[in-house]
A and B are shown apart, each in its own frame.
Chain A
């Protein structure tokens, strides 16, 4: 189970890094979303992988660590807000600049012309 889990997280991270390194805003946003999935899975595993246990001490012989679950929940909420903002921003950039290239394709000297 650990190996499968580790491979999943690793694959997700690798794919997201590939997407983040691309030059257009849409793949980058998708990549960042995927990265946050990978990170959430990784965080979840830091309490060690345990099957069918309650996050309560004292009821049973063994238990699962409740803290990573709380951390993941927080990270999901924050990640969701950030993703929403980055999508809106990417749409605005596409609309106002007419291109979804993250870097300026034709670098003009526009210093100070605001």
Chain B
């Protein structure tokens, strides 16, 4: 009974939690809301592990209301979706833990918005229907609009306005592309679209290609690919550390959507619409890498540096993805696990650093000693090594996978210098920041602002996940290779969705 409904649990848990959190809880509501939020996030991890186990035998298909595909909306948990659900839940728990020590009091309803945000993200990962994907995008966007403003402040306002207006336009383009695809194929189910689009010829195929490229624009805006990334650095740098840490998964939603749609619907076997947009992704991805590297060097604020690190990781992943081999998709997924967790950890570390440094905050200038100087220094050092991609941490392994994925001469000639060059720029920038902020401090008494040890434990959890990702790199990459095989051969997915799903009691 429960295993049959396992696929919808990642949506029900955060939704019910958010609704419960919205109830009036009397004098001291935050205590109850925190308990509900933490319970929800812990449950999500359990469910996500169960999903990974169950979906290894084949994609789980859940027809909502027993309306079978392609007529009804289905939720599909295949390897890729389950992995993303697991990543989200592993990220959410430490971030929420960190937020529970006062961060959530800066604005109203942080806890409920956090759960709604999770609902939108997990829904986007699990849905098997393009219009449903739009709906879940809107759920995650409207919570992110509110979360971005969490804590208030003038600087946030303008960044938030840019973010909202851009995403509203993006949503309109999303709807146009859905209309185009529906008008040509008469379906919005992703598996059914894959079948219908591969059968198109002539003018119809051209219109479907136009629809597909419009989708790419929308996903690229979410993922922050080159011409559409300008909103990201300001928005991430201006918002509070917790929200930025949670948003580490947001660009990955765009990347997931690109991987899902452009392997399933516009993949190798899609007839006239095959391999749509891959060359765009290759060149724009390389451009994003270069711009990210320049941004990292040019930033004088550590938050901004980390925001540009997000841009670099997006460029790395999409370039690698566009090489379109099993090896490259394995590399993308491993790097995605690594970069999501490490960027979140860095955002939280910088949040603590900024708070403890007082007036100089996160600007890369000489400042006074922090109260928990040594602990923070070690954490920053570990996180910086991991994100730069130096051995021994998972960043090194991830970059190795990516460099190995480049096969042809042209790929090697372009990808290697850019990946290694940006790695070098990141190393220079982070060592400059680290030495200014941790070593060249003013003499005298350290600041008296301390953070509760539990907050540091929360960051430690994220770093522990990075260490685990390094230690078990072999078995994890072996597992991911299986997922990459399924991603590259979508026929299992299509058969599972369209091949008559079982009715539910």
Interface residues of A (CB under 8 A from B): 20, 25, 28-29, 32, 35-36, 38-40, 42-43, 45-48, 67-68, 71, 74-75, 78-79, 81-83, 85-86, 89-90, 92-93, 96-97, 102, 104, 110-114
Q: Which residues of chain A are near B154, meaning CB under 8 Å? A: 96-97
B149 proximity list for chain A (CB < 8 A): 89
Point out the residue from A38, A75, A102, A113 that lies within 8 Å of B165, measured CB to CB.
Answer: A102
B: contact size bracket: 35 or more
Stretch at the interface among B74-82, B112-120, B173-181: B173-181
Known: A29-B165, A112-B362. 7 other contacts (CB 8 A): A20-B169, A45-B183, A46-B183, A82-B171, A85-B164, A112-B304, A113-B361
Contact: A97 with B157, CB < 8 Å?
Answer: yes
Q: Is B204 an interface residue (CB 8 A)?
A: no
20 contacts between A and B (CB under 8 A): A25-B161, A25-B165, A29-B165, A42-B179, A45-B179, A46-B180, A47-B182, A78-B171, A81-B142, A82-B141, A82-B164, A83-B168, A85-B145, A89-B145, A89-B149, A93-B158, A111-B300, A114-B156, A114-B238, A114-B361
The residue from B131, B142, B180, B300 contacting A82, defined by CB atoms under 8 A apart: B142
A86 pairs with B157, CB closer than 8 A: no
Q: How far is the CB of A36 from chain B (nearest CB, A)?
A: 6
Given contacts A46-B182, A89-B161, contact A112 B361 (CB under 8 A): yes
Kindly identify, within residues 268 to 305 of chain B, every residue whose CB is under 8 Å from any CB belonging to chain A: 299-301, 303-304
Q: How far is the CA of A79 from the CA of B175 in the complex (A)?
A: 11
**SS class of chain B's interface: helix, strand, loop or mixed?**
helix
Question: Inside 8 A of A81's CB, which chain B residues have their CB?
Answer: 142
Tell me if B160 and A89 are in contact (CB < 8 A): yes
Q: Using Cβ atoms and an 8 Å threshold, which residues of chain B touch A35?
A: 169, 172
Please tell me if the beta carbons of B299 and A111 are within 8 angstroms of each other in the complex.
yes
**Cβ-based interface call for B403 (8 A):** no
Residues of A within 8 A of B301 (CB): 111-112
Contact present for B162 and A102 (CB under 8 Å): yes
Interface SS of chain A: helix, strand, loop or mixed?
A: helix
Return chain A residues, CB-CB under 8 Å to B138: 78, 82
Nearest chain B CB to A75 CB, angstrom units: 6
B474 at the binding interface (Cβ < 8 Å): no
B-side contacts of A38, CB under 8 Å: 172
Task: Report yes or no: A114 in contact with B175, Cβ–Cβ below 8 A.
Answer: no
Taking a contact as CB atoms under 8 Å apart, the answer to whether B157 and A96 are in contact is: yes
Bound CA–CA A82/B362 (angstroms): 33
Residues in B neighbouring A102, C-beta threshold 8 A: 158, 161-162, 165
Contact (Cβ within 8 A) A74 B238: no
**CB-CB contacts of B133-170 with A at 8 A, as 1s and 0s?**
00100100110010001000111111011101100110
Least CB distance, A2 to chain B, in whole angstroms = 12
Residues of B within 8 A of A92 (CB): 157
Question: Measured between C-beta atoms, what is the minimum distance from A66 to chain B in Å?
Answer: 11
A104 neighbours in B (Cβ, 8 Å)? 158
**B363: Cβ under 8 A from any A Cβ:** yes
Report B-chain residues with C-beta under 8 Å of the C-beta of A113.
155, 361, 363
Chain A residues near B164: list those with CB within 8 A: 82, 85-86, 89
Given contacts A68-B182, A111-B304, A114-B361, contact A39 B172 (CB under 8 A): yes
Closest approach, in angstroms, between the C-beta of B127 and any C-beta of chain A?
Answer: 14
Complex alpha-carbon distance, A79 and B168, angstroms: 8
Expressed in whole angstroms, the minimum distance between the Cβ of B452 and any Cβ of chain A is: 22
Q: Which of A28, A74, A83, A93 is B135 in contact with, Cβ under 8 Å?
A: A74
How many angstroms from the CA of A61 to the CA of B14 in the assembled complex?
46
Chain A residues near B363: list those with CB within 8 A: 111-113
Q: Let me know if A110 and B155 touch, CB within 8 A.
A: yes
Find out whether the CB atom of A36 lies under 8 angstroms from the CB atom of B172: yes
Identify which of A28, A82, A92, A113 gathers the most chain B CB atoms within 10 Å of its CB: A82
- Once A86-B164, A102-B165, A112-B361 are accepted as A-B contacts, the answer to whether A43 and B155 lie under 8 Å apart by CB is no
Q: Please give, as numbers and ranges, the residues of chain A lying within 8 Å of B165 by CB-CB distance.
A: 20, 25, 28-29, 32, 86, 102
CA distance A45 to B175 in the complex (A): 12
| Chain B hits for A36, CB < 8 A | 172
Distance in Å: Cβ of B221 to nearest Cβ of chain A = 14
- Among B131, B155, B172, B237, find the residue whose CB has the most chain A CB atoms closer than 10 A: B172
Q: Could you tell me the distance in whole angstroms from the C-beta of A46 to the nearest C-beta in chain B?
A: 4
* List of A residues within 8 angstroms of B141 by Cβ: 82
Q: Which B residues are in CB contact (< 8 Å) with A40?
A: 175
Residues of B within 8 Å of A47, CB to CB, are 182-183
Chain A hits for B168, CB < 8 A: 32, 82-83, 86
Residue of A nearest to B157 (CB): A93
* A70 → B minimal CB distance (Å): 9
Closest to A41 in B: B179
Q: Contact at A71–B300, with CB atoms within 8 Å?
A: no
Which residues of the partner chain B approach A48 to less than 8 Å between Cβ atoms?
A: 183
- Chain B residues, Cβ within 8 Å of A111: 237, 299-301, 304, 363
How would residues 89 to 118 of chain B score, 1 for a CB under 8 Å from any chain A CB and 0 otherwise? 000000000000000000000000000000
Q: Most chain-A Cβ atoms within 10 A of its Cβ — which of B158, B165, B179, B299?
A: B179
